[in-house]
Amino acid sequence: MKVQEVLNDLKRRFPNESEYHQAVTEVLESIEEVYNQHPEFDKAGLIERLCIPDRIFSFRVTWVDDKGKVQVNMGYRIQHNNVIGPYKGGIRFHSSVNLSILKFLAFEQTFKNSLTTLPMGGGKGGSDFSPRGKSSAEIMRFCQAFILELWRHIGPDTDVPAGDIGVGGREVAYMYGMYKKLAKENTGTFTGKGIEFGGSLIRPEATGYGNIYFLLEMLKTGKIDIKGKKCLVSGSGNVAQYTCEKLIELGAIPVTLSDSDGYIYDPEGITREKLDFVMDLKNIQRGRIREYAEHYGCKYVPGGRVWTEKGDIALPSATQNELNGDDAKILVANGCIAVSEGANMPSTPEAIEVFQHAKILYAPGKAANAGGVATSGLEMTQNSMRLGWTREEVDEKLKRIMSDIHRQCIRYGTEPDGYINYVKGANIAGFMKVAKAMMAQGIL
Ligand code: NDP
Ligand code: 2IT
């Protein structure tokens, strides 16, 4: 394989899909050496097959808003690869959703799911519907309209969706309800469900908790204590909230949160009580993070990014490309020792270059945020058994999985000077399992 040739071909055939090109470039550069040690991969066109999704569904979603006006959105599901298990991955509702973003997410998901050690393939879906400012009734009608098209393409053994940006417990429940009505089956073709109808304990917490479990593993390699460390967290949704919860529990000090309008900086730290305020603000009132600053009298920076503040640890938990090369330089100059990604691809290639050049601890999303989908896998297992595990049981399994992912990164990513290149480690480990399964199953 010649990385540039594969990339040029993809760029020619799928122009204007910059996020997709970005995600593919990173993986190809990481695996090139290992790939070329296996001439049988090249002969089998492995990488050409792995870069292109198995199939893509796209459809129109028509719904009626509260004023009685008919609204039209696009809906998508990308089934990327299912060699190690059913397609698995979240659904994103955000005005920015397009094929490039969903293709990058489905591609990443395939390697992330491979790393979890569980039998799950990769997929992703979503819509350019923006939940912002919509009533609960509008959200419900949209979710139902979305599933009216999607239901025929998903199922417990074929494709199991979950949440992502703009899709949390409320949206999953509306979608699952409609799915069951149409599909006439009740075996859990969604994860992140309510605890009353097949959801797993710890699934809501899992991405944020898992990211901190992974961070703890990284800190252990440098014998660093998390206690008292100032942490810069971006976002204020599901991942950011449970990242903060675990940090507080461990005695670390989260000092920032953000949303698409701006960020807050609380030098005294976001405490348990303040986090409860954020959870009510974001999950019930559906307000803006600015209101935190108004309530607690701290700094609010409209339009700004949290990375300009001073912190020991950075935990990007909002969206792709939210941390660029300049942000990374500021972080490093301010003494940041670790970056662990709760979001998918939040750091630009330039930012990653800065972190690795400075040799600070840096974990890419596909390793660090895999706890979310891993716990989705555990939800699928519980649904198959028609049993539920306790919080402690699920949390213990999550910890074990995060530690296993860390071990895989060390195995494939340790460089001659001892620096752990987690990007390389995660990409090679994730890729090798998928590659072996593809080779075993023949040319498909
Ligand atoms: P939520 O919708 O709960 O929260 C997203 C947060 O990020 C909000 O604060 C939102 O602000 C902000 N945000 C979203 N898009 C943008 C944007 N374009 N610019 C600036 N801020 C933005 O989503 P999650 O917490 O679930 O997801 C956050 C990240 O974590 C995503 O990258 C997702 O793919 C990833 N992830 C999620 C997992 C999960 O289990 N939920 C699992 C693994 C990864 P606003 O409200 O203003 O839009
Ligand atoms: O990006 C992700 O891993 C998720 N949004 C979670 C996917 C899942 O199936 O739980």
- Please report the domains of the chain, with CATH numbers, ordered by start residue: 3-185 (3.40.50.10860), 206-363 (3.40.50.720)
Cβ(168) to ligand 2 under 6 A?
A: no
Supply the pTM of this predicted model. Answer: 0.98
The predicted structure's pLDDT at residue 294: 98
Ligand 1 center to residue 48 CA distance, Å?
A: 30
Residues 6+ apart with CB under 8 A from 421: 356, 413, 414, 415
Cβ(89) to ligand 2 under 6 A?
A: yes
**Pair 78, 51: CB distance under 8 Å:** no
Cβ(17) to ligand 2 under 6 A?
A: no
Q: Mapping DSSP to helix (H, G, I), strand (E, B) and coil, where does residue 372 land? A: helix
Phi first, then psi: give them for residue 410, nearest 5 degrees.
-65, -40
The protein residue whose alpha carbon is closest to atom 9 in ligand 2 is 89
The predicted structure's pLDDT at residue 169: 98
Ligand 1 center to residue 9 CA distance, Å?
A: 31
The residue among 132, 170, 172, 66 whose CA lies nearest residue 288 is 132
Cβ(318) to ligand 1 under 6 A?
A: yes
**Segments of the chain scoring below 70 in pLDDT:** none
Cβ(320) to ligand 2 under 6 A?
A: no
The predicted structure's pLDDT at residue 439: 98
Cβ(167) to ligand 2 under 6 A?
A: no
The protein residue whose alpha carbon is closest to atom 17 in ligand 1 is 260
- Transcribe 377-444 into DSSP letters: HHHHHHHHHT----HHHHHHHHHHHHHHHHHHHHHHHB-TTS-B-HHHHHHHHHHHHHHHHHHHH---
The protein residue whose alpha carbon is closest to atom 3 in ligand 1 is 237
The residue among 47, 154, 177, 26 whose CA lies nearest residue 90 is 154
Q: How far apart are CA 46 and CA 63, in angstroms?
A: 41
What residues are annotated to the active site?
124
The predicted structure's pLDDT at residue 58: 98
Residues 6+ apart with CB under 8 A from 32: 1, 3
Q: How far apart are CA 204 and CA 209, in angstroms?
A: 9
Q: Could you tell me the two tokens for 115?
A: 């790393």
**Closest-lying ligand 2 atom to the alpha carbon of residue 112:** 3
Ligand 1 center to residue 317 CA distance, Å?
A: 6
Q: How far apart are CA 115 and CA 24, in angstroms?
A: 17
The predicted structure's pLDDT at residue 336: 98
The predicted structure's pLDDT at residue 300: 98
Ligand 1 center to residue 411 CA distance, Å?
A: 30
- Cβ atoms within 10 Å of 162's Cβ, excluding its own: 24
Ligand 1 center to residue 185 CA distance, Å?
A: 31
**Closest-lying ligand 1 atom to the alpha carbon of residue 261:** 47
The residue among 390, 352, 27, 395 whose CA lies nearest residue 208 is 395
